[in-house]
Structure 1
Amino acid sequence: MHPGFRTLTAMLALGFTTPAFCASTVDIQVTGTLVPSACTPILSVSTLHFGTVSSADLHSERPTAMIEHTPNLTIQCGTPTLYGLRLVDNRAGSAYDSGIAGRLGMGRTASDEQIGAYYLQVDPARSTVDGRRVFLSLGDRTGSLWSTSTAQPMALPTDGSLLGLVDRVGVDTGAVVVRMAQLGIRAHGVIAPARSLTVTDAVPLDGHVTVELVYL
């Protein structure tokens, strides 16, 4: 047999057998959306001061409610934009478990005890989107699935899910595009039961949260 023919035969055999064991590449698809303009959230206050509470006034076996604040959150977009809202708790792990979703931490005592928890809720009765009445819907992390929109106040989520602004009640189609949102916020909280706290000196409340706007 001619030597050149043997060489060609070996190359053809390699070509037929390579796909069976050589899978050394992977394709990655990149997706996303470029929005035409940004949205700017503005809160009417920079600090929520819950006042001074004496340990003698705390309930021993159950949480003690603190005073309530009602600031406003304005979100202005350059053009109508689709987005969802959520919170990032910068004191994660310090929230007292009161059994209510959306709790935020307010620090720990010197004995490493959870001081309490506070909540930021959107109140539809005090809110509008582009001058229209607003309703609320809770969506997953990607904004793919949404709960039925409601007129009930709803906590801004802290678990990565999204709060959507809707212009109709009773629909599960999710957030709508909005240019100007005026949201009434209800900020309230509780101090943990006195029996769970060691208060020998003044204990400062140390909450810190970021409102995150997620473009969809």
Structure 2
Amino acid sequence: MKTLLSALTACAWLACVSAAHSAATVELTVSGEITPMACTPVLSGGGMIDFGKISQKDLNQATGTRLPLKSLTLTVNCNAPGRYALRMRDNRDGTAHVNSEIYYGLGLDSAGNKLGVYSVKFDPKQTVADALAVTYGTESTTGGLAWRTSNSNPIDIGANSLLGFTDVVGSTAGPSAIQNLTSTLTLEAVINAKQNLDLSVETLMDGSATLEVVYL
């Protein structure tokens, strides 16, 4: 009985050693695909939106103040038709006073308070893709693994989601292959409540974001 127990103990010890050896290494795999497709996005007016000077007396004391809507035109020209989507990165990350991926920051005041937010909306009804008769919008929050059912509703572009276009309504297959796209974007900015800001000196609105084409 003692001999059998010792043998079992030895086997268990050997199994542990074997497991320890197998866990001592791990394989790294690097993959990807280089595509001949190349797209160039361009915003009208150099991508500049200027609200001019805003008097602090025109701001709401306890609630945010919505500024007039502004429009931009985005064109995306590719060297061939292909599937792609759009997303936007906030270059002033951490300055938005609303925590959502569709809101981008307007910078900080002199006391370090968050000045406000803005969002950018795409409207499929104001989007022309190649010679497609109708364009619908679709969105993915899973990096392109799954897509929202395509429709004609406006979509706010997010920092962590992909936004694309298709000519098939009600589709969950993602964006269609598109070579040339033109879309009118609507920008909405909201200034933080005046009670949350230090406006004793002139304060610069300093929003900045990068629009990116993501190849699928």
TM-score by structure 1 length? 0.85
Whole-angstrom CA distance in 1 between matches of 2:96 and 2:147: 27
**Shift in Å at residue 55 of structure 1?**
0.7
Whole-angstrom CA distance in 1 between matches of 2:155 and 2:130: 20
Moved more, 202-211 or 42-51: 42-51
Superimposed CA distance per residue, residues 70-105 of structure 1 (whole angstroms, 9 cap, x where no aligned partner):
1110000101111111111000111121x7650010
Structure 1 unaligned regions, length at least 5: 1-16
Whole-angstrom CA distance in 2 between matches of 1:186 and 1:40: 20
* Percent sequence identity over aligned pairs: 30
**Shift in Å at residue 31 of structure 1?**
2.8
Structure 2 unaligned regions, length at least 5: 1-14
Superimposed CA distance per residue, residues 6-51 of structure 1 (whole angstroms, 9 cap, x where no aligned partner):
xxxxxxxxxxx99665325433343322212210001112211122
Residue in structure 2 matched with residue 66 of structure 1 by the alignment: 67
Q: Tell me how many residue pairs correspond in the alignment.
A: 199
Residue in structure 2 matched with residue 121 of structure 1 by the alignment: 121
Whole-angstrom CA distance in 2 between matches of 1:211 and 1:21: 47
Residue in structure 2 matched with residue 75 of structure 1 by the alignment: 76
Residue type at the aligned position of 1:157: G
Residue in structure 2 matched with residue 112 of structure 1 by the alignment: 112
* C-alpha contact 1:43 1:74 (8 A) present in aligned 2: yes
Moved more, 51-60 or 133-142: 133-142
Residue in structure 2 matched with residue 22 of structure 1 by the alignment: 21
Residue in structure 1 matched with residue 138 of structure 2 by the alignment: 137
Whole-angstrom CA distance in 2 between matches of 1:20 and 1:139: 40
Q: Where in structure 1 do 4 or more consecutive aligned residues deviate above 4 Å? A: 17-21
Say whether residues 1:51 and 2:52 are aligned partners.
yes
Residue in structure 1 matched with residue 93 of structure 2 by the alignment: 92
The secondary structure found in structure 2 opposite 1:146 is: coil
Residue type at the aligned position of 2:145: S
Whole-angstrom CA distance in 2 between matches of 1:52 and 1:169: 43
Measured on the aligned residues, the alpha-carbon RMSD in Å equals: 2.0
The secondary structure found in structure 2 opposite 1:180 is: strand
